[in-house]
Chain A
Amino acid sequence: MAIYVELFIAGLVLSSIYSLMAVGLTLIYGVTKVLNYAQGSLFTLGAYIAFLMFNNFPYPNYFIVVILTLIFMAGAGLLFEKIFIYPVRRLPDWNFIVIIVTLGAALLIDNLFLVIFGPLQKTLPRAFSGSFNLGILRITKHNLFVIVVAISVLLLLDQFLSKTRMGMNMRAVAQSEIGAKIVGLNINKVYSYSFAIAGILAGIAGILLTPRTLIYPLVGWPVFLKGLVVMVLGGLGSIKGTLYAAVILGMVEIFVSFFWGARWAMPIFVLILIVVLVFKPKGLAGTWE
């Protein structure tokens, strides 16, 4: 029985990572209508930056390093928007072209990682070592930390979107970009903020997951793809739906990996994706047109 509880907790950990990834994607898609294929590269970037900081920063306290990395990631998200998205937006059918541009950007960035850091795997420390022992049950402290961080980050994001001025601006642009322009919102600023937040979310996911997977140039791709499936299952643009979907798919992945092996996780995901698209194309929440 204990094994199932442990699997359940491992599933929650994965769900947390996927929800961070998918919420970043959903936020970008909801606000700017860009399907960002480079979200996985931002994930990898976060992990590499943290790795560099841990090895070169004179005062390598975990939390200071993480906060500095996240500030850097916000800048990276902003810069990503300015370099790759902003120049494309003047084109007439940019909604179509931008997807291919982000795909090209992802491959460009990943190959830059390969050039700079080499193909060798790098390790990142965990937030806490050791584990809690509850009778027959063992939970590592890092796993618990992952779940707590993910939940608090998503609650914070929810508060940001519903309470702050910029959050409201972002929701307004998500509903109608033309309407937002008419009432005088600064669309460019909203775009920059969305990408900065998505960069932070990807960075958090990268720092939390890569202590387990190690860092290599393509580490972001599997996580990004699972994030995509989560995003579609949750209903594009709905954060609540994304959370449900992340929990479901995290559990599915853990149990599939436990019974059949980890390499079947992605095929099962694709199967679920196609079944969902056939029978419930609006996803679980279904708020999106």
Chain B
Amino acid sequence: MGINKNKTTKNSIDTRYKWGFYIAIFVILIFVPIVYQDNSRIMHILVMCVIWGLVSEAWNLILGFANVFSFAQLSFFAIGAYTSAMLTFYGGISPWYGLIAAGLSAALVGALIGLPCLKLKGIYVAIVTFSIHLVLPTIIVWGGQARFKYSTGGTFGLAGLRPFSIGSFSFGRNRLYWYFAGLSILFLTLFIIYKVINSYIGMAFIALRDSQEFAKSLGVNDYKYKIIVFSLSAFFTGIAGAFYVHYSSIVDPSILELDIFLLILVMVVLGGLGKFPGGVLGAFVITYTNEFLRFTGQYRYVILGLIVVITLTYLPGGIIGALEKLYFKVKNKSET
């Protein structure tokens, strides 16, 4: 485990540069909202950046690192959203507990989905998870019948969800508080994901990716690790879903639309599939770009689809991959 940790080999990035990059992002994320705190539109975009960053980094963990074709990420998002919404709406509990309950229920559903299908080849996982995504709206609309005591609200959803509050102080509509609350969750998540990637679990996935047969013959239990990472990813996504519904104060089945699915896919792909802060970086770039592209009207999703195809074909590492390439180019030049 600890081999070569502090030495830089030819194919590893100097940790000083890596941490310099992380700290630069950290500082930007802290100071940008303070500059823009009076512009409510930009603040809204920033809050959405944080939420989508959480979702796409969790997706990147399962899709990029574990190489599991999970297309159920938005389902976990919706499950977390509805869990927290219904618990706070009917049960009257604090949204903070709703956040944790949302994460746990999403992780539970993730484990239940993962147990049968993670044993199989990747293509099956892609099919099962994607069909679950498309079945969920039917179930949510069905759960909205008036005869149910705890109805999901059907196509109209549940409105008037409570915002977060600390003691008697409510976040209300002040987006600066929402941003920093979301950012703290995001940093905590990123820290855990970083730890997971650099633990023996991450090592196992690298081994499985490089040579599956050899890794398995050494006794790497990919099934166990995949379940762990799958549930972990679902947990973070569920939390993001709960955060989103308390921020927008309404939950309805439109969060499962294919457009949003595409949006998050673009974020993961553009940021860098399987590169560490790729999801977050992609989320910030794409959420801004998406707002910027509003004037193109219906062409917006055509452009986003093009970004997915072109990035994957010509730049499979995304932005982070491009930065790494640039770094190695400069490094090799200075050495020779």
**Which A residues lie at the B interface, using CB under 8 A?**
29, 35, 84, 87-88, 91, 93, 96-97, 99-101, 103-105, 107-109, 111-112, 114-115, 218, 221, 225, 228-229, 232, 236, 263-264, 266-267, 269-270, 273-274, 277-278, 281
Q: Which residue of B lies closest to A263 (CB)?
A: B138
Q: Are B126 and A99 within 8 A (Cβ)? A: yes
> Could you tell me the distance between the alpha carbons of A126 and B124 in the complex, rounded to whole angstroms?
36
Q: Which of B116, B135, B262 contacts A278, CB < 8 Å?
A: B116
Q: Are A264 and B128 within 8 A (Cβ)? A: no
Residues of A within 8 A of B130 (CB): 225, 228
**Which B residues lie at the A interface, using CB under 8 A?**
63, 67, 69, 71, 116-117, 119-120, 122-124, 126-128, 130-132, 134-135, 138-139, 141-142, 209, 258, 262, 265-266, 269, 273, 298-299, 301-302, 304-306, 308-309, 312-314, 316
Q: Which residue of A lies closest to B131 (CB)?
A: A270
Q: Which residue of B lies closest to A265 (CB)?
A: B138
Q: Are A104 and B308 within 8 A (Cβ)? A: yes
Q: Are B131 and A266 within 8 A (Cβ)? A: yes
Dominant secondary structure of chain A at its interface with chain B: helix
> Could you tell me the distance between the alpha carbons of A105 and B298 in the complex, rounded to whole angstroms?
16
Please judge, given known A-B contacts A108-B305, A108-B309, A270-B132, whether A29 and B316 are in contact too, CB under 8 Å: no
Known A-B contacts: A91-B313, A91-B316, A97-B273. Give 12 more (CB < 8 A).
Answer: A88-B312, A93-B209, A103-B308, A104-B269, A107-B304, A109-B305, A114-B301, A263-B142, A264-B138, A266-B131, A269-B131, A270-B132
Q: Are B305 and A107 within 8 A (Cβ)? A: yes
Q: Are A101 and B128 within 8 A (Cβ)? A: no
Q: Are B298 and A115 within 8 A (Cβ)? A: yes
Q: Which of B262, B266, B301, B312 contacts A101, CB < 8 Å?
A: B312
**Minimum C-beta distance from A85 to chain B (A):** 10
Q: Which of A84, A96, A229, A274 contacts B116, CB < 8 Å?
A: A274
Q: Which residue of A lies closest to B127 (CB)?
A: A228
> Could you tell me the distance between the alpha carbons of A249 and B67 in the complex, rounded to whole angstroms?
31
Residues of B within 8 A of A114 (CB): 298, 301
Residues of A within 8 A of B122 (CB): 96
> Could you tell me the distance between the alpha carbons of A281 and B67 in the complex, rounded to whole angstroms?
20
23 inter-chain pairs at a CB distance below 8 angstroms, sorted by A residue, are A88-B313, A91-B316, A96-B122, A99-B69, A100-B269, A100-B308, A101-B313, A104-B262, A104-B305, A104-B308, A105-B305, A105-B309, A107-B308, A109-B305, A111-B301, A114-B298, A228-B127, A229-B131, A264-B138, A270-B135, A277-B117, A277-B120, A281-B124
**Minimum C-beta distance from A86 to chain B (A):** 10
Q: Are B123 and A99 within 8 A (Cβ)? A: yes
Residues of B within 8 A of A221 (CB): 134, 258
Residues of B within 8 A of A277 (CB): 116-117, 120, 124, 128
**Minimum C-beta distance from A79 to chain B (A):** 14
Q: Are A104 and B120 within 8 A (Cβ)? A: no
Please judge, given known A-B contacts A87-B313, A269-B131, whether A111 and B117 are in contact too, CB under 8 Å: no
Residues of A within 8 A of B69 (CB): 96, 99
Q: Are A273 and B127 within 8 A (Cβ)? A: yes
Interface hub of B71, B131, B139 (most chain A Cβ within 10 A): B131
